[in-house]
Structure 1
């Protein structure tokens, strides 16, 4: 990695974060206007294209040492899903948890937490950047998503990985979801994480499984994952924009 790469990523991160904070700051009327939506869409495509141009598929997000760990890794989003099914799993320490992996795959699988932990793992110390304006460095351990993909054998038509989660987001039963493309799905640092700082993943941080997509902003890193689905398109899922917040105006590609 060249010395210019961190500076380039910092520029991209700050630019994208500034756009996201604008949406969070109450510019609802502006964000609903047709011309502003087109402007955001153009900026997202530029960010996506720029990162792909500057950083190859195998480029790694910066990793740190244990001396850099944050004293407390904050929770982003939901802290404890108000979901009876999830609460029952948590009460039994997730012994009955099952992760379904299907969609456009040759070999659909269902994994228990123990089966996921039996797969080859990876540990990495990385920084989480939240659009709310804070960052934290944590030590994550989990199974690389690529190990699961190798076992389920994606079809050639699979373009995206969708994470369906346990946390309800409103009284209508809408649940959190997120998606990434296959390039990020196969990336070495994309983990299904089950430990944070050498301890089982806390509920506030997404137990029993959350995804770590270290080259993107925090809202892409879905927590409380219950099902993974490989699909060829996103426009038929929920609001059609590829994620809960994306359906509400956020950029689908949140690269840093």
Structure 2
């Protein structure tokens, strides 16, 4: 397939930016969240439209100095290899016992080059390190240093096809969620394999977790297993969480 048929970072951002003006048009759902029209999800539309209208699409989350790094609790799932828990994953336990040597991140869907990436594969991409504030939905915040590969680099390597609108994520602890292309190609959205100068720990999502610095903490999914590029989205609404929680 010719390169012009693949969505690059520049093209994805240009398309997203050109669509922002449509947010002011009554009844327009193209640039509204995919939950648009649901009375129970009105908060999604309000937050999404306010963020996309008032803030530049690629505005950066504040980054901090090394001296501002704080203690960082691990909440929610802390080990999918724990067989006593409801979120137990036999596959994750096997991978953990092998020190994740056989772990692979599957990237599939509307791409020209579907494939699987080992931890070493991801580390071969140019890395990004950022010190950012994690804002938890439970009300606490913490500052940590994250190192990983920009999600955009992996998506461009896979070759996103026209028509794709969302990036869906699946984890070993059973969580499913998604983000749109603007957040996917944001320079601070990374697949993190390091935290505070060390390899990512089990409680914080080893071997690789997502970091979406422009949204509330639960969008930064831990224990990544699979990424699907698609024109349909995964909605965590049945868990009680909003789809879009920009900050």
TM value normalised by structure 2: 0.80
Tell me which residue corresponds to 1:108: 114
Matches within 5 A, 1:11-160: 38=39, 40-70=40-70, 72-81=71-80, 82-160=88-166
State how far apart, in whole Å, the 2-side matches of 1:112 and 1:54 are: 39
State how far apart, in whole Å, the 2-side matches of 1:247 and 1:189 are: 28
Tell me which residue corresponds to 1:32: none
Tell me which residue corresponds to 1:170: none
User: Residues 79 and 205 of structure 1 are in contact (CA less than 8 Å); yes or no, is this contact kept in structure 2?
Assistant: yes
State how far apart, in whole Å, the 2-side matches of 1:43 and 1:165 are: 26
Match of residue 243, structure 2, among 217, 228, 252: 252
Structure 2 unmatched ranges of 5 or more = 1-37, 81-87
- The offset of 1:249, in angstroms, is 2.5
State how far apart, in whole Å, the 2-side matches of 1:251 and 1:46 are: 11
State how far apart, in whole Å, the 1-side matches of 2:162 and 2:75 are: 34
- The offset of 1:248, in angstroms, is 2.3
Tell me which residue corresponds to 2:195: 196
Tell me which residue corresponds to 1:171: none
State how far apart, in whole Å, the 2-side matches of 1:148 and 1:222 are: 17
- The offset of 1:177, in angstroms, is 1.1
- The offset of 1:46, in angstroms, is 1.1
Deviation per CA, 1:7-43: give whole Å up to 9, x if none: xxxxxxxxxxxxxxxxxxxxxxxxxxxxxx72x5222
State how far apart, in whole Å, the 1-side matches of 2:186 and 2:75 are: 23
Q: What is the root-mean-square deviation in Å for CA atoms of aligned residues? A: 1.1
- The offset of 1:208, in angstroms, is 0.4
Deviation per CA, 1:108-133: give whole Å up to 9, x if none: 12111101011111000001011111
State how far apart, in whole Å, the 1-side matches of 2:76 and 2:217 are: 10
Higher helix proportion: 1
TM value normalised by structure 1: 0.77
Q: Secondary structure at the match of 1:146?
A: helix
Q: Secondary structure at the match of 2:157?
A: helix
State how far apart, in whole Å, the 1-side matches of 2:110 and 2:42 are: 29
